Structure 1
Amino acid sequence: MNKISASVTSIESVDSVSIVSFDAAGQPMRMMSLELDGMLAAGDSVTLGVKASSIALAKVLEGEFSISNRLECAVESLTEGQLLCSVKLRFGKALLESVITRESAERLHLQVGDTVTALIKASDVSILETIR
C-alpha cells in the first residue's frame, strides 16, 4: 500500500457522500468517501493510502478528463517481469509504486529519471491514519 502524507483542506458532504480535498506535498488531491465518520476536519494531518494497481501513469498529459488526482513524479526505478512492471516513483518525500503492464511501460518508453504524472481516481484513495 502506498502512503502519502497530506493535510485536509476542505470537506464537502451531501447525505452520506463526502468529497475530501487535501494538500499533498503542495499538490491537490481529492478522495470520495461513502463512510466518513465525521471525525475529520480541515487542517487535520492524514496518511492517505493508494494501491499500487490503482496508479496509472502518463508521460504527455493533454486534454480534460475525470481523474481528480494528478501527481507529478520522477521515475526512480523499473522492475520488469514477463507481464507486469513495477515503477517506483518519487513524489515529494514519498516513494510510491505503480504496477502497470509491461506493454504499457514499453509503450511509454519509461526510463529512470523521467517525469510522469501519476493518475489516481478519487474513489481509489483512502485514509489510513489521522494524525492528531
Structure 2
Amino acid sequence: MNKLPARISQIEEAQNLHIVHFEGENYSLKMMGLELPKNVHVGSNVILGVKPSHVAIAKNLSGELSYSNQIHATVHRIEEGTLLCNVELHVGSSVMQSLMTMASCKRMRLQVGDEVVLLMKASEVFITEVLDV
C-alpha cells in the first residue's frame, strides 16, 4: 500500500459527494468520495493511501489528461516477475510503488533513474489515517 503524507487544503461538497484537495511535499492531490471521516477538516494532516495497482506511470508525457493527480517521480528500483513488474519510485522523501504488466514495463523501456509522472484517479485515493486527532 502506498502512503503519502499530506495536508487538506480544500473540501468541496455537493449532494453527498466530496472532492478533497491535499498538499504534500512537492505534490498536490485530489480525492473524490462519498463519505469523509468525521474528524477531517481543512488544515488536517493525513496519510493518503493508493494501491500500487492503481498507480499508472507515464514516460515522456505530453498533452492534456483528465487525471488531476499527476506526481513527478524517479524510478528507483524495478522488480521483474514472470507476468508482473513492481516499480519502486521516489516522490521527494516518500517511496511509492506501481504494479504493471511486464509487457508494459518492457514496451516503455523503464530504467532506474528515469523521470516519470505517476497518474492516479481521484476515486482511487483515500485517507488511511488522520494525524490531528
List runs of 5+ in structure 1 lacking aligned partners: none
RMSD: 0.9
Mapped to 2, the partners of 1:112 and 1:65 lie a distance apart of 25
Counting matched residue pairs gives: 132
Match of 1:17? 17
- What is the rounded CA distance, in whole Å, between the counterparts of 2:92 and 2:121 in structure 1? 19
Structure 2, gaps ≥5 residues long: none
Matched residue of 1:21: which SS?
A: strand
What TM-score does the superposition give when structure 1 sets the normalisation length? Answer: 0.96
Query: Quick one: distance in 2 between partners of 1:39 and 1:130?
Result: 8
Deviations 1:51-78 (A, max 9, x none): 0000000011111121111010010100
| AA at the equivalent of 2:79 | T
Once the two structures are superposed, the pairs formed by residues 1-132 of structure 1 within 5 Å of their partners are 1-132=1-132
Structure 2 CA distance, aligned partners of 1:37 and 1:77? 35
The CA deviation at 1:4 is 0.3
Deviation of 1:38 (Å):
4.2
Which contiguous aligned blocks of 4+ residues in structure 1 show a shift greater than 6 angstroms? none
Q: 3-state SS of the aligned residue for 2:42?
A: coil
| 1:7 maps to amino acid | R
Structure 2: distance between partners of 1:117 and 1:110: 12
Of all paired residues, the percent bearing the same amino acid is 42
